[in-house]
Chains A and B, each alone.
Chain A
Amino acid sequence: MKFGVVVFPGSNCEEDCFYVIKEILAQPAERIWHKQTALDNFDCIVLPGGFSYGDYLRTGAIARFSPIMKPLVDFAHKGGIVIGICNGFQILLESGLLPGAMLRNKELHFICKYVHIKTENINTLFTNLCSSSQVLKIPIAHNEGNYYIDEQGLKSLEKNRQIVFRYCSPKGEINKEFNPNGAIANIAGIVNKEGNILGMMPHPERSSEIELGSEDGRLIFKSILKWTESK
């Protein structure tokens, strides 16, 4: 299957995503410059992490107006697979492809460290290889990962089983102590109602090789592969 990795000015995880897709998954991949106005023949688009436009107004706020976003929205509405990681998640929120918004981390610091997340829904195309409630060890690296949505929105997320990952203890307990950034309901990743767009703060591309401390992130990429191949 063919992956496309979008490069905005200020993206800085695009090469890491590209490397995992090409070298670890052995799948074809292309970098897509944000000024491109068309998306052809891709099965999955990755919006990588980083600081698009320096995060200068709000994270992801300026990137959502890049020319590439119009064909991306079309692609997503037609059922194309989109995964936004960290800054990519923030862009998906700003563009309205996913509900909610990002606030600054509760401690007001950037946080980079390994955390644990619990898989809350294994019936998505991004998690079909995970076991039920599987705890994944995946690093975070962000300043604005404090996910916010109003009460009604949260109910709707829960009802539609859109919450895919929540921050948890190594054993899978979900509580305040293991919420690194203050995100509402410990939310670390969500999908849209249709289930073809995933946004997550933790970085699966940084945890796809055991040499780097964990290969749990690879499960997410492999799930996408499995789903596409079984179609």
Chain B
Amino acid sequence: MIKPEIYRSLGLSDQEYQKILKILGREPTSTELAMFSVEWSEHCGYPRSRNWLKLLPKKGKYQSLIGEDSGGIIVDDLAIIFKMESHNHPSQIEPKQGAATGVGGIIRDIFTAGARPIASLNSLRFGPLSEPYNRYLLGGVVDGIQFYGNCIGIPTVGGEIYFDESYSGNCLVNAMCIGVANKDKLARAVALGAGNSILYVGSSTGRDGIGGCSVLASHEFKKGEEKRPTVQIGDPFMEKCLVEATLEALATGYIVGIKDMGAAGLTCSVSEMASAGNCGVEIELQLVPRADANMEPWEVMMSESQERMLICARKGKEKEIQEIFLKWDLHAVVIGKVTDNGMVCVKDKGKIVAEVSAHSLTEAPVYDMPYEKPDYLDELNKLDVTKLYEPKDYNEVLLKLLNCPTICNKAWVYEQYDHMVQTNTIILPGMSAAVIRLKGTNKAIAATTDCNSRFCYLNPYRGAQMAVAEAARNLVCSGAEPAAVTDCLNFGNPEKPDRFWYFKNCVEGIADTCKFFNIPVISGNVSFYNESPKGAIYPTPTIGMIGIIEDTGKICRQHFKKESDVIILLGSLKQGLGGSEYLKEIHGLTRGDVPDLDLQLEQSVQAAVLQAIRKGLVNSAHDCSEGGLAVTIAEACITEENQMLGAVIKLDVLENFCLRMDEILFAEAPSRIVVSVNKDNLSALCEIAKKHSVGCQILGEVKGDRLIARYKEKTIIDLSLVKLSDSWRKAIPQRLAK
């Protein structure tokens, strides 16, 4: 008789346990109970989010590929496969290994789809660097990403890092990987054809990470330290060999299906492969290579040892596959076979220890979670700009914003990542989007990750819209047309109605905006229970977006290129200090509503800039986001360290907009892009702007070695490039030196 304490400690509710009894018609064995608990957990089964995820569009301009563990789009003869996934809780406990195994896991999802990984990005969020533990987390997470990514030889080309109090006690590590395959050579995570063999490849199975991800991911943090033993250890060298061996083995055509053993290990891969193929699978646990001799059957089924995969191979061709893995000194052991009865049958020394229908494991119950708008929000959305004091010294304000960790230069981070291996990285990290060329074609992929979570906290629907719009705008600034999205939805405890209200509104915001832009969401991941004793993190629906560049000769970067180029603002100026970095850093306020987003205008601005870049009219393009117009122009001056160029800006042209100076300089209203053009191209650019009904304001020119902004006769900003650059470049090293 199984006591309630036991199944409850595994995260199963009383109703869920009753459901298991009904499915089996008997009491579950301990192995079966463990299998249900992980498969029905939020991490694997998405019981609380699945209903809402259906809203996300799956179709766009390019043909979409929706696979079992990843997705992608087809561009000519190529499949571009990508996905983003969270590894938040493991990273909070043991930052180096947590981040490393997060990177390793997402890479496996890409190459098990048959694609060669060509680039990684990551979206990281920490509490303020004034706290020692947050500094330790930043250092550890970056160390883990470089440890894994550099060794495996996949360039880490971009991403983002935010700092905010809400992440103290629960950092976010969202890792994204992009791969490329011939569109006819894709692999599926499926078991098919009774009699075919099931092979286990990769590392041995140990006790590490039992219940790790799935249990960790389904509970809030209370006392994290106690959970340290469940964190897995990554072995990038092993995985590098696995990548090569797997791609070589897939090329034989003898592999029917292949799946990573990630969260919930063998349980997840066996049951999901069987379920996807509408068949059964029978395995013998004694055949599983072990690192630890005395493991219980349920431990073998739950282990989250890294760098392991399951393969369904054509009967009679096992040897050919084994030889390839042997060449790379890797295990490849037949541990079972495909059956036609739809059951997952697990044997230990010939004795059945679990026998469950595959579908019953993978079809987790679906819950309609109650949601409610938090009562504090209406008050928080109120902001009377007229009551804010106006800064006297805008030089000081700009330097302070450039120095704030969310805005500043992140070279300390990305120079620790090998971002050039594979020799495809055309736009290196440090710009709004990374660009990776596709060898053998004239095309390139642009990639970015974005989410302003403070916006999502103040207005989840519009905040999520802004994340999608900004990601697209970043891609456009590099010369790419936005093509597809992967999302990583990080939220608090879904059982609390206010948290769930944020989740629902963010998903709706993403869905509506992606539909408007005709961009599909081809893969994604949900991470709930991101809470510390202080409360939930800011809702953080990270958007990973890729775009396609048709001609690698028509690529644009964010920094000014030539003296006397004209600086132009495309789009319009609007009120929008709500939720801004300026408000937080200078006035200490997190309030107001998120600036308005006119999707039609956003689309027009993007279309105009893309057209101008493709016609070769534009020398630089940089969108306005955190820190507003002033930060955008300053960054355009100083991004290229060996080639900094000043600017003289006349703000007079903006007087018709009836805004305060701090609103002009620091508002974070969307749909604005600052470009620089050769004087000769000015009229052609204005023509394009007019055609798209987009505002086109001449702000000034590229000139000298200072950034100067004047309003009528008054000098508002006058700073040397060296000073701007120091403030922006030294922000993180300064804080870590403490």
Q: Do A and B come from one complex?
A: yes
Considering the complex, which residues of chain B in the window 188-240 have a beta carbon less than 8 Å from any beta carbon of chain A? 235-238, 240
Contact of A16 among B238, B421, B426 (CB under 8 A): B421
| Segment at the interface with A among B146-154, B270-278, B677-685 | B146-154
Q: Scoring A residues 27 to 54 as 1 if CB is less than 8 Å from chain B, else 0, what string do you get? A: 0000000000000000000000111011
Considering the complex, which residues of chain A in the window 140-164 have a beta carbon less than 8 Å from any beta carbon of chain B? 141, 143
Query: B420 contacts A211, CB within 8 Å?
Result: no
List of B residues within 8 angstroms of A227 by Cβ? none
Query: A112 contacts B420, CB within 8 Å?
Result: yes
Considering the complex, which residues of chain A in the window 195-213 have a beta carbon less than 8 Å from any beta carbon of chain B? 203, 205-206, 209, 211-213
Considering the complex, which residues of chain B in the window 432-451 have a beta carbon less than 8 Å from any beta carbon of chain A? 437, 439
Q: How many residues of B are counted as interface, with CB atoms below 8 angstroms from the partner's CB atoms? A: 31
A228 CB to nearest chain B CB (Å): 24
Bound complex: CA A218 to CA B329 (Å) = 35
Considering the complex, which residues of chain B in the window 406-461 have a beta carbon less than 8 Å from any beta carbon of chain A? 411, 414-423, 425-426, 428, 437, 439
Bound complex: CA A113 to CA B417 (Å) = 9
Q: Scoring A residues 186 to 199 as 1 if CB is less than 8 Å from chain B, else 0, what string do you get? A: 00000000000000
Query: A10 contacts B150, CB within 8 Å?
Result: no
Bound complex: CA A213 to CA B425 (Å) = 10
Verify if B516 is at the interface (C-beta below 8 Å from A).
no
Query: B237 contacts A141, CB within 8 Å?
Result: no
Bound complex: CA A9 to CA B244 (Å) = 9
B653 CB to nearest chain A CB (Å): 36
List of B residues within 8 angstroms of A49 by Cβ? 421
Bound complex: CA A49 to CA B240 (Å) = 14
Query: B415 contacts A113, CB within 8 Å?
Result: yes
Verify if A13 is at the interface (C-beta below 8 Å from B).
yes
Verify if A110 is at the interface (C-beta below 8 Å from B).
yes
Name, among B237, B241, B642, the residue most crowded by chain A CB atoms within 10 Å (CB to CB): B237
Query: B428 contacts A19, CB within 8 Å?
Result: no
Verify if A12 is at the interface (C-beta below 8 Å from B).
yes
Bound complex: CA A49 to CA B151 (Å) = 10
Verify if B328 is at the interface (C-beta below 8 Å from A).
yes
Bound complex: CA A15 to CA B154 (Å) = 12
Query: B437 contacts A211, CB within 8 Å?
Result: yes
Verify if B604 is at the interface (C-beta below 8 Å from A).
no
Bound complex: CA A109 to CA B425 (Å) = 21
Bound complex: CA A84 to CA B31 (Å) = 52
List of A residues within 8 angstroms of B642 by Cβ? 170
Verify if B395 is at the interface (C-beta below 8 Å from A).
no
Bound complex: CA A110 to CA B426 (Å) = 21
Bound complex: CA A170 to CA B153 (Å) = 28
Bound complex: CA A14 to CA B393 (Å) = 54
Contact of A213 among B151, B238, B428 (CB under 8 A): B428
Q: Sample 28 A-B pairs with CB under 8 A, ordered by A number.
A: A9-B240, A9-B241, A9-B328, A9-B329, A10-B151, A12-B152, A12-B240, A12-B421, A13-B153, A15-B422, A16-B422, A16-B423, A51-B153, A51-B236, A54-B237, A54-B238, A54-B240, A110-B150, A112-B150, A112-B417, A113-B411, A113-B415, A139-B420, A141-B150, A141-B420, A141-B421, A206-B420, A206-B421
Chain A positions near chain B (C-beta within 8 angstroms): 9-10, 12-13, 15-16, 19-20, 49-51, 53-56, 109-113, 139, 141, 143, 170, 203, 205-206, 209, 211-213
